[in-house]
Amino acid sequence: MQLIAQILDIEANKKSAIINELDAEKFGLALNDRLRISSQKGSITCIVELSSSLVKPGTIALYKNVAKSILADNGERLEVNYEPTPQSVEFIRKKMNGGKLSEGEIKSIISDLVKMELSDLDISAFLLASNYVGLDQEEIKNITVSMAETGQKLNLGGFTVDKHSIGGVPGNKVSLLIVPTVALTELLIPKTSSRAITSPSGTADTMSVLANVKFGLNEIKSIVEKVHGCIVWGGALNIAPADDLLIRIENPLRIDPRGLMIASILSKKLAVGAKVVALDIPVGRGAKISGSAEGERLAKEFIEIGKALGINIRAGITYGGQPVGKAIGPALEAREALSALIDPGSASMSLLSKASSLAGILLETAGLAPNNTGYDISMGNILNGKSYNKMKQIIAEQGGNPEVKPDQIPVGNYKHEFKADSDGYITLVDNESIVRIAKAAGAPVDSGSGIILHQKQGYKVKKGDILFEIYSDKSSKLSEAVNIANYDPPIIIEGMLLKVYPS
């Protein structure tokens, strides 16, 4: 059949086309069927979407990304034909029924995913099957390799290492200290990071306050060859693109299948050529992993699959019961990380200690430091200013101002202080509440928004002491964040006397 192209002014991260319900009935098409759409200059397979009024009979609406891929013009007559369901959908159904997927079946699924041949329902089915049926180690390894093979790869000449956190703890800006510390050595550390999805700031969000983070692979290679490290946004690189397509569906489903999470992380490490990876697994109340035993089980899975892939993984089980350092939000975290490098003597010990521990793991595992000495070497380089000087080089190579000082980084113009209403001790700093408040204030979209903690768990406070401050770029968002903080306090104070019994 032939239909007239109607190009919509909408970019969509999917390959779909919209036809009128009458045309669908006429040609025996249903929602989520597939069509092969051909212009004079190309063809593409799209998922069918239906409309009763947006698209008139005899026309087919194409999203901008679809129209661009086949160079279709508005009003052009297109050839449209039914396309059979890809075989990978049968493999997804096999996994839903409890079967084990072969290497070839996994390659088919990931390939069709990246080519956007799968509908959102197909992807949802794969995610749910992976979450509830589960994936064994061989399946996870094959998914990892397939994810890496369907994207671009970074080929560096030297010994490449990397660091990754499974996330879940706000304020975790340690990569801004780790990368320059490791880059002081002969090791190469091309840190590709994501922007925040559910947290107040991702590493790329924080680094973007100091320098450009959007580069192509050749640009990253040039930067790393010069200064041995970088901190960039991975979303512009087409490294393991299947991951972003899965995350797009995972978030509304609110699931994070363990096997796919491991494959996601390791596929990116495989794509950048990492030989050694320091894996940060925060554990504690409010973190993704509740306790050390569960953290060790996860670490073991990573290590065994990494070994099969030729990646030497060493995990750090870290404390995740409260934020790292005192700042939460892109600009506030950039200030704190830069301050820690410039004046480590005044920095939060949780930030310095965690950064030095993970950097030390990389040095020891890569054979550049004897066992149990990596921490001291890394901490020494932060304390003597060498890490700061290297960070200045990295900032300069990424197009930022290497001489910028923390107080020159703009933060939100609107601020509200919360003070202690009694004497006592901080018994709880709630990660989940802090994330809700910081996001309500505007983080990470409004880079100057977030929270500064003045007190943390275990601190003794007096009535009237400032507990934390909320910053926002907009007064309306500050009001919303303040309301949340009043309703769900992120800091709990208790006296030494908890209760009198009998009362």
Q: Where are the domains of the chain?
A: 2-83, 88-134, 161-229+270-397, 411-494
Specify whether 205 is catalytic: no
pLDDT at 196 (0 to 100): 75
Strands 59-62 and 16-20: antiparallel
Is CATH 2.40.40.20 the classification given to domain 2-83? yes
What would you report as the CA-atom Rg of the chain, rounded to the nearest whole angstrom? 25
Domain 411-494 homologous superfamily, CATH: Pyrimidine nucleoside phosphorylase-like, C-terminal domain (3.90.1170.30)
Residue 215 CB neighbour total at 10 angstroms:
20
Classify domain 161-229+270-397 by CATH architecture: 3-Layer(aba) Sandwich (3.40)
- Three-state secondary-structure class, residue 6: strand
Angstrom distance (rounded) from CA 8 to CA 13: 14
pLDDT at 420 (0 to 100): 93
Active-site annotation holder among 120, 256, 423, 465: 256
Q: What are phi and psi of 242, to 5 degrees?
A: -60, -30
Is CATH 2.30.40.10 the classification given to domain 88-134? no
Residue 411: exposed, middle, or buried by beta-carbon count in 10 A (0-12, 13-18, 19+)? buried
Residues 312 and 327 sit within 8 Å (Cβ to Cβ): no
Q: Which amino acid is at 82?
A: Y
Angle, helix 88-96 to helix 120-132, in steps of 10 degrees:
30
| Measured CA distances, 324 to 203, 214, 287, 440 (Å) | 13, 26, 12, 20
Helix, strand and coil in the chain, % to nearest 5: 45, 20, 35
Angstrom distance (rounded) from CA 419 to CA 464: 5
Give every residue of the chain whose pLDDT is below 50, as ranges: none
pLDDT at 132 (0 to 100): 95
pLDDT at 480 (0 to 100): 97
pLDDT digits (tens, 9 = 90+) for 295-352: 999 999 999 999 999 999 999 999 999 999 999 999 999 999 999 999 999 999 999 9
Residue 77 CB neighbour total at 10 angstroms:
12
pLDDT digits (tens, 9 = 90+) for 196-217: 767 899 999 999 999 999 999 9
